[in-house]
Amino acid sequence: MSQDPRTALVVFSGGQDSTACLAWALSRYSHVETIGFDYGQRHKVELNCRGRIRTELAQAFPDWAPRLGEDHLLDLGLLGQISDTALTESRAIEMQANGLPNTFVPGRNLLFLNFAAALAYRRGASVLVGGMCETDYSGYPDCRDNTLKALQVAMSLGLDSPMTIETPLMWLTKAQTWALSETLGGQALNDLIIEHTHTCYLGDRSQRHAWGYGCGHCPACELRREGFTQYQREKGNA
């Protein structure tokens, strides 16, 4: 695959999906930087995983190492202050009357991408990469393809400069996301994802499962476990 000369900025949380997206970007773009956000999330442990993942990727994949640029961590504590969700407060995870789980943080991805675009503009990047998906997801409206297409237009107009939002996982199931990371970096990349990424909403890294660390019963763990099981089944039947 020919290398895209543009600079990409990956919204990188330290989870499975954003790590797959980082690998995807490193396989395509000549220069890739990462951005993360501290918004008072309960699973703040994911932020501690980010640096280790970047280091492990650079060591395990020397062809990608020269392309991996700076990391940026922004303080969005205000988002946590105005949120009333199970991701920013210690409360049980449950469905709400509007059909969305109370893990939905209103405006989170919209804010993330707007801040990312502002940083990208200053850093000379014209591509934003995010792990948003509307296949295996919790119904969050700011993960939908139409939302992100509209945001791409608005940001490009507001910056008076083209800004592309790439969402390589948008139409993939979690099983297909595992398969994608294997295609990008083989079993070595999936092993890295299992060992070093964090997805669990409760921030539990005391329990190690075949698919990684987590409580095993929150929505994020369930999606990851089910996707891994399906991926293993399909891989075995191939």
Q: How far is residue 99's CA from residue 58's CA, in Å, rounded to a whole number? A: 41
- What are the φ/ψ torsions at residue 35 (nearest 5 degrees)? -140, 135
* Percentages (nearest 5) of helix, strand, coil residues in the chain: 45, 15, 35
Taken in order 216, 59, 127, 41, the sign of the CA dihedral is positive
Q: Which of 31-40, 106-115, 142-151, 169-178 has the highest mean pLDDT?
A: 169-178
- Mean pLDDT calculated for residue range 29-46: 86
Predicted structure pTM score = 0.90
In three-state secondary structure terms, 206 is coil
Please give the pLDDT value at position 82: 54
Please give the pLDDT value at position 94: 45
Close Cβ partners of 17 (under 8 Å, ≥ 6 residues apart): 131, 133, 169, 177, 199
Query: Higher-confidence residue: 46 or 182?
Result: 182
Instruction: Please name the helix (run of DSSP H) or strand (run of DSSP E) that holds residue 23, with its range, or none.
Output: helix 16-26
66-123 pLDDT tens trace = 999 999 999 877 766 655 544 454 544 445 555 545 455 667 888 899 999 999 999 9
The answer to whether 207 and 213 are in contact (CB under 8 A) is: yes
Please give the pLDDT value at position 92: 47
Query: Higher-confidence residue: 97 or 168?
Result: 168
205-229 pLDDT tens trace = 999 999 999 999 988 899 999 999 9
